[in-house]
Amino acid sequence: MSNYTHKRTDSGLEPIYKALKNTFEDLIKEKFFEKNGIVFKVIDHSEKLPKELEGAAKELSQLTKNGKNGEVTTLLGYSLEQDINEALSQDPKDYESFRGKLIFPDIDLVIRPYEMRLSGGPVYAISQAQMIILNKLNPEVKGEDLKRILQEYYQLKNNRINKSHNPHHSKNL
C-alpha cells in the first residue's frame, strides 16, 4: 500500500487491514519466514495503521530478524516523496550516494496481486526486478503461494540467459 491508500475515506480500508493482520498472524504461526531464513520488514510512512496490524507486523519482523537468505519488505504506507526527501536531506554528493541513502537501493522481486500497477512504490529501485503477479487477493494468500513464488523467482534468477545478458542477475542475493 502506498501512503496515499490511508487517505481513503470509504469503508474499504478496514477489510484490507483485517486481512493483512490475519495473513501476518498466519505467517507467524506457520513460521514461514523463519523456516526459510528470510527477514521480514514493513515500511510505513503513514503512521495510520491500526494497532493490531502494526503489532502483528512488528512481531513478524522481530521473529525473523536473524534471517540469512534474503529479505521481504512489505509496503503498508510507503511514500516515494518522503523516501526521496529524506535521502536528499542527507546531502548526497552524487547520484550513487543519493541512491545509497534511499530505502531500497535495488529490488529483485516485486509480487503484486492481480495487477501490475505499482501504486506509488519505489519505482527507482525496480529497473532490474522480476515481477510476479499472484492471481489472488491478500486474504487468499497462503504460505504455499509464497513458496511457489520463491521457486519461480529462483528459476528466473538462475536462467542462464538472464545471467549472460544482464549483469544485475549475476549478483548473489
pLDDT single digits (tens) 44-53: 988 889 999 9
Domain boundaries, the chain: 3-168
For residues 2 and 78, is the Cβ–Cβ distance under 8 A? yes
pLDDT single digits (tens) 91-126: 999 999 998 999 887 888 888 877 666 767 788 788
**Superfamily of 3-168 according to CATH:** Decaprenyl diphosphate synthase-like (3.40.1180.10)
* Angstrom distances, CA of residue 157 to CA of 148, 150, 153: 14, 10, 6
How deeply is 73 buried, as exposed, middle or buried, from its count of CB atoms within 10 A (0-12, 13-18, 19+)? middle
Instruction: Please say if the pLDDT value at position 4 is more than 80.
Output: no
pTM of the model: 0.72
Give me 144's grid cell: 504455499
With CA atoms as reference, report the closest residue to 137 among 7, 12, 4: 12
SS3 96: helix
pLDDT single digits (tens) 40-98: 999 998 888 999 999 999 999 999 999 998 888 888 888 889 999 999 999 999 999 99
